[in-house]
Amino acid sequence: MGAWARLELVEQLGNVGSEVERTITAHRAGRTNRFESALARALELFDLTASDPRWHGHRCREILRAREEFCRLFFDADVPEESAEGLRRYFFGFAYAARMLHYRRRSERPA
């Protein structure tokens, strides 16, 4: 796991969200190669996050539920149109929290 294990949950999920966004965008644009690589990376990050022992229990279940919804976008023939936007909004919250954490850490460093 390496550096991934040193990230807080909001940072991990913020990074997952970036890959989710890349995957959705590539899929909508019909960019097959880009879609496939983004999909593989997103699933890898979902799995790394879910396997982090710090997030056992309800956190792990939520991560796996988000992964399931992400997979439904591309592999379920009967997925609601608004599902992609729902996932984008969900992960945006983590990206925003991760950015705030980054700024807070930066401001706490000695000059």
Domain residues of the chain, as ranges?
2-108
Stretches in the chain below the pLDDT threshold 70? 1, 111
Q: Tell me: the pLDDT tens digits for 88-100? A: 999 999 999 999 9
pTM confidence score: 0.89
**Radius of gyration of the CA atoms of the chain, in A:** 15
16 and 43 Cβ atoms separated by less than 8 Å: no
* Model pLDDT, residue 111: 64
Cα separation, 61 vs 76, whole angstroms:
20
Distances 37 to 26, 29, 55 between C-alpha atoms, Å? 10, 14, 26
CB-count burial class (<10 Å; 0-12, 13-18, 19+) for 17: buried
